[in-house]
Amino acid sequence: MSSTTRRLCRRPAAALALVLGATALLASPPPQPAAAAPSGREPALAQWIDRDTVVWKGAEHRAARLESGTRGAHLRLVPGRLSPSERLAYPHLTHYPAFTVDPRDRALARTALRDALHATQRTADGRRTTTGVQIPGVLDDLYGTRARHAALGPVFARDGRPTLAVWAPTARTVVLELGGRTVPMHRDDASGVWRVRGARDWAGKPYRYRVTVWAPSAGRTVTNEVTDPYSTALTADSARSLVVDLADPKLAPPGWSGLAKPAAVPLRRARIQELQIRDFSAADRTSHHRGRYLAFTDRHSDGMRRLRSLARAGTSHVHLLPAADFATTPERRADQARPGCDLASYAPDSDRQQDCVTKTAGRDAYNWGYDPLHYTVPEGSYASDPEGTARTVEFRRMVQGINGAGLRTVMDVVYNHTAASGQDPHSVLDRIVPGYYQRLQDDGSVATSTCCAGTATEHTMMGKLVVDSVVTWATAYKVDGFRFDLMGHQPKANLLAVRAALDALTPAKDGVDGKSVILYGEGWNFGEAADDARFVQATQKNMAGTGIATFSDRARDAVRGGSPFDADPRVQGFASGLYTDPNSAPANGSPAEQRARLLHYQDLLKVGLTGNLADFTFTDSAGHRVKGSGVDYNGAPAGYAAAPGDALAYADAHDNETLYDALAYKLPPRTAPADRARMQVLALATAALSQGPALSQAGSDLLRSKSLDRNSFDSGDWFNALHWNCADGNGFGRGLPPAADNKDKWPYARPLLADPALRPGCATIRRTAAAYRDLLRIHATEPAFGLPTAAAVQRSLSFPLSGKHETPGVLTMRLGNLVIIFNATPHEQHQTVPGLAGTPYTLHPLQSHGTDPTTATASYTRPSATFTAPARTVAVFRRG
């Protein structure tokens, strides 16, 4: 997404809030309202940012004090000012009054922090004002240096004895509940870590921590029974943590220690297939493990045959939607609700299917998984048995299966928010160190711009959790890449720490080559952290040059048309007929307006094909010499990358309508099925043939539809499942999509879903998939698509017909010894390229002898250097 509307944390319907992202989400986020303080919760307008300093919004700059509950610790505050380093660390607090803790009272800080804490002041007119106090900064100052190096969770010594450790510096007491007994834990005052060393027979036993702590959200001291944030295994429904050593040989499937991976590819050459674990096999009748990790071990299933064919064509990675433990899907199959209707009996444009599906939402087996509960344990609902360590073994077997198919594995990770905060049962972190792990607004309320309770990865121990978790997935589960959800809500420094930790992993020492692990994420800029308000964010512009890619929404919007937030979904783009094949929707404007917008979209696509390079210089559609950064994208620079690999291209992902559904809305209703399929391939080609990494949603090459559902995170198997067998259709016409996110589009959707011409047959689906594989093979076999530097791209890539020679709806790109024609118009097009007269070119053999007979008719006239491309076709020509 610049970001796109998307998966929601699962909550009661009345409380649902849109999540932003783009999918490779997909659209730029609209402005988000500030979170309101929870009802009954005392505001916390004072922030104790280090042992010396308190900042208090709304206070008078006069004497005040901190009062610590029943322990009677009072710390005097005198008017002060922020130091330069404090101003740098807390830019959003620089305009508030600052106070210095009286040196005589600083020794009381550790005691004060383990009780109810308030800031009080007598104002000039004699009134007494009181507010709660935010404490993350001072906790980092007092404990962070030692705690950041602590080994947390269950850690096994060579003698087989485990040590359990949890960071809880504000807790009065922490007790271990192990099996049916309690065991005292010991506090290290320097780090705030509580530990206990156990016996060898603790292995495999369930445990929780009993934490007695002041909870601002409850306004009282509470005793919470809570699982371990550093859990390595769980019982069913995440009720208890398990004392498990991930290095235990019993948890390693056969062949795990010597797992042979496909050869690593640099991020700039990665071609990634995004899919959800349940979607992959839920409707695959040839799989023996439908909806589970083990479906990836069914070598002869339709789904695995499809993955192998994509790998042979040039796909390098499978990107799995979140598979770490999430909060709300019942993990035992017996507890999972199923729709109680004959869904197949209803009309393709009926509202009955969605009504039936939504009645079981929140109780069924389906969820995208963006409601994280435990960050470093595989989700139990995908395991054959959620009780115990089957999920660990089976996740590893899934990785083996994917690697065996010729693909590397990427995990979608969601460190930017938790499923809940405060005293909610699905809150883990906030019930151990209340008010620390969640990002708080200036009034003490939890920031929710991500959709859910945001995390403060800028705080030492939340940042440490991210690094430790990623390293565990990379070493203990041999994951080959990570996609960071809403990465722009995290500090750039935290992502660089992840990169550094991975780079330090070696096959000899850790069993993996950490440098081959790829990283990318959603660099959207919005919410309380926007515009580097609190720290330098991991946004698109800030991550340039780091080796960590960000999704680029620029070309995505240009190729599809409009944005994911358009009230009218018929707004057209380059691959959906803008100007060249208008659909008559008033939202598209006059013919002159359409032509101007189409030419600007073509400039955005040119920048996208370079890998979104900021300094790439070319001639735009108006005939001006510009840089990528000089092309406008909704007020932001279109080009922001420093090198190929900084920006990730995509035309669709799990967020928003699938590409097929978007084109169903946007293409003229009369468009024939074969022409819709050709436009699908053309749209996919703008990402597949770009510099830098590219991602596509699983099934897009099969014209995958979700029956026009724009946010299917909770829409069940009926709307989401992949149909590998074309005889089962492509998912279009399975009823009106769920009302919660789609009802305003139902008037546009009804006539489309009722039209049988929009449900493609097997021949059309097979031709589309084959044409896409041809493009992947071309990318994989032509070195010019993987140029290593911005300078190399500038030397090798050009758009020779820009400016006065530019044809609306046609892009001509010259790349090394290749010329690529993207003809999005409904007519054959002739492109005469200056400077090539007499130079021999032929259609690329993978197309001239490929699977698409229409593309095979593309031709080149040598004397005039004229390239001819059929309607709605991408044609690649090679010199010689």
Which residue numbers are catalytic? 485, 522
For residue 202 the two structure tokens come to 């603790």
* d(C-alpha 114, C-alpha 413), whole Å: 32
Helix axes 673-688, 659-666, angle to 10 degrees: 130
* d(C-alpha 215, C-alpha 559), whole Å: 50
* Residue whose entry in the numeric block shows the structure tokens 């909610």: 424
DSSP string, 722-790: ---SGGG--STTS-SPPHHHHGGGHHHHHHHHH-GGGS--HHHHHHHHHHHHHHHHHHHH-GGGG--SH
* d(C-alpha 158, C-alpha 390), whole Å: 24
Q: How many C-beta atoms lie closer than 10 Å to residue 593's C-beta? A: 11
* Positive or negative torsion for Cα 422, 426, 427, 428: positive
Query: What are the residues whose beta carbons fall under 8 Å from the beta carbon of 785, sequence distance 6 or more?
Result: 269, 689, 690, 691, 778, 779, 815
- Give the distance, in angstroms, between the CA of residue 507 and the centroid of all CA atoms in the same chain: 28
Q: Name the nearest CA neighbour of 378 among 213, 534, 234.
A: 234
- Under 8 Å between Cβ of 332 and 237: yes
Hey, which residues does 5 pair with through a beta bridge? 20
Q: How many C-beta atoms lie closer than 10 Å to residue 789's C-beta? A: 14
* d(C-alpha 38, C-alpha 42), whole Å: 9
Q: Are strands 636-637 and 647-650 parallel, antiparallel or unpaired?
A: unpaired
First vs last Cα of the chain: how many Å apart?
A: 40
Q: Tell me how many degrees the CA angle 147-151-155 measures, rounded to the nearest 5.
A: 155
* d(C-alpha 61, C-alpha 99), whole Å: 8
Q: Name the nearest CA neighbour of 153 among 90, 64, 244, 49.
A: 244
For residue 347 the two structure tokens come to 């009309």
Give exposure, 338-347, as e/b (b: 16+ Cβ within 10 Å). ebebebeebe
- Under 8 Å between Cβ of 700 and 788: no
* d(C-alpha 426, C-alpha 106), whole Å: 36
